[in-house]
Structure 1
Amino acid sequence: MDAIERPTFESDTASELYQYVERHGTATRERVREAIRLPPAEFDETLDQLLSKGYLQEQGGKLSLALDIGAVESHTTGTETYVIRPSRPADFDGLVDLIRDVSAGGTYVIAESIAEQLLYEDAITRHNTVESRVFFVATKDEEIVGWCHLDLPQVETQRGTAQLTVGVAHDARGQGIGSQLLERGTDWARANGYRKLYNSVPLRSERALAFLDDHGWHTEGIRKDHYTIDGDLVDEVMMAYTIE
């Protein structure tokens, strides 16, 4: 299933089963069956429909959303090799830790709030009739060193724009990883019909603002004294990128 495809269901039972997995990220068959209290035969039939329709997938005994957001790509810079790929449920802890580390000190407030949202919802990917959320990650030796996140509203009037965040671990910077992640997210948005990306950064985050400016983003607006960071009022710079 594509992340821009709004899921539709043949029955309330199918919707309830899908929503349980979508809200929990991953779950075993037994856990889902116990939670929604369906007779075994009806549960198996409904689950098979969702699996065959490509809404859910089953790997290692666990159910999760089956979102097709692209392939695994390998990149080499100098003597370093890293991989950029769609996120997986098993990335959860490493992804949250990285986002928290990169956004520490009030340098990336939007990313900080995303980490807290992941922890609250206990799921990386979301995809329902209201919102869709996908992540690409960069890894070195299976360790997550960067991310690109796209928040994709499913409400019709907002489906042309998406929020994007991107970040790289401090010790992995200077290798082009951030640029490749940004390009991967932008290319995906372009291929799926989005016309605009936006990102909001505190004015004090000069490195992040310069990075976005270097990649063709522009300042769309400034909200004065929007954040309180370390006791100081800090402006928010609203950045945007028009996809052509």
Structure 2
Amino acid sequence: MDAVERPTFETNEARSVYQYVERHGTAARHRARAATELDTDEFREAVEHLLSKGYLADDGGTLSLALDVGSIETYENGSVTYTIRPARPDDFEGLVEAIRNVSDESTYVVAESVAEQLLYEDAVTRHNTVQSRVFFVATVDDEVVGWCHLDLPQLDKLRETAQLTVGVVSAYRGQDIGSQLIERGIEWARANGYRKLYNSVPATMEPALAFLEDHGWNTEGIRRNHYTVGDEQVDEVMMAYTFD
């Protein structure tokens, strides 16, 4: 299932099973059946329907969302070999840690809110009739060292724009990991018909602003004194990437 595809359901049973798995990220079949209070035949038919539509995947009895968001790619830069791939449910803790690592040191407010949302919802991927989110991660020896996040509204009037955040933990900067991550996010959005990406950054994050500008982003607006960082009021710089 593509992340831009709005899920539709032919039965209430299928909707119930999908919603349970979507809210939890992954779910054992027996737990999903118990939670949805379906009998064995109803549950089996609902799961088979969701599997046939490509909405869910079944890995040895564990159900998860079957989102097709791209391939796994490996890069080498000097002594560092890293992989960029779609995030998986088992990346949850590493992903939150990486986002917090970056936001704690640089007041990346939007990224901080993404981490808090992940913790609140306890799921890496969301895909429902209201919102979707996609994560790409950069890993070194299976450790998450960077991310690119796309927040994808499902409302018709907002479905051609998406919010993007990107970051790399300090120990792995200067290896082109951030550039590969943001390009992966941009190309995914381009391939899926988006016309605009946006990102909001405190004006004090000058390296982040320069990084976005180097990758084709432009300042779309400034909100004066939008953030309070410590005792200081800081402007918000609203950046945008527009597809031709």
TM-score range, shorter chain: over 0.9
**Other-structure match for 1:55:** 55
Aligned counterparts of 1:214 and 1:46: Cα–Cα separation in 2: 48
CA displacement 1:90-117 (0-9 Å, x = unmatched): 0000000110110004520000000000
Q: Give the AA of the match of 1:83.
A: T
Matched, 1:133 2:138: no
Aligned pairs (5 A) from 1:77-226? 77-105=77-105, 107-226=107-226
Look up the SS of the partner of 1:103 in the other structure: helix
Look up the SS of the partner of 1:193 in the other structure: coil
Q: Give the C-alpha shift of residue 79 in structure 1.
A: 2.6
Runs of 4+ in 1 over 4 A off after TM superposition: none
Q: Give the AA of the match of 2:194.
A: Y
What is the TM-score with the length of structure 1 in the denominator? 0.98
Say how many residue pairs are matched: 244
Aligned counterparts of 1:68 and 1:44: Cα–Cα separation in 2: 24
Percent identity between the aligned chains?
A: 68
CA displacement 1:85-141 (0-9 Å, x = unmatched): 000000000000110110004520000000000000000100011111000000111
Q: Give the AA of the match of 2:233.
A: L
Q: Give the C-alpha shift of residue 207 in structure 1.
A: 1.0
What is the TM-score with the length of structure 2 in the denominator? 0.98
Aligned pairs (5 A) from 1:10-49? 10-49=10-49
Look up the SS of the partner of 1:30 in the other structure: helix
CA displacement 1:18-58 (0-9 Å, x = unmatched): 01110111110111111110011111111111011110011
CA RMSD of aligned residues (A): 0.9
Aligned counterparts of 2:105 and 2:225: Cα–Cα separation in 1: 17
CA displacement 1:42-82 (0-9 Å, x = unmatched): 11111111011110011243111000000000111123211
Note if contact 1:201-1:238 (Cα within 8 Å) is conserved in structure 2: yes
Aligned counterparts of 2:73 and 2:241: Cα–Cα separation in 1: 24
Gaps of 5+ in 2: none
Aligned counterparts of 2:241 and 2:17: Cα–Cα separation in 1: 37
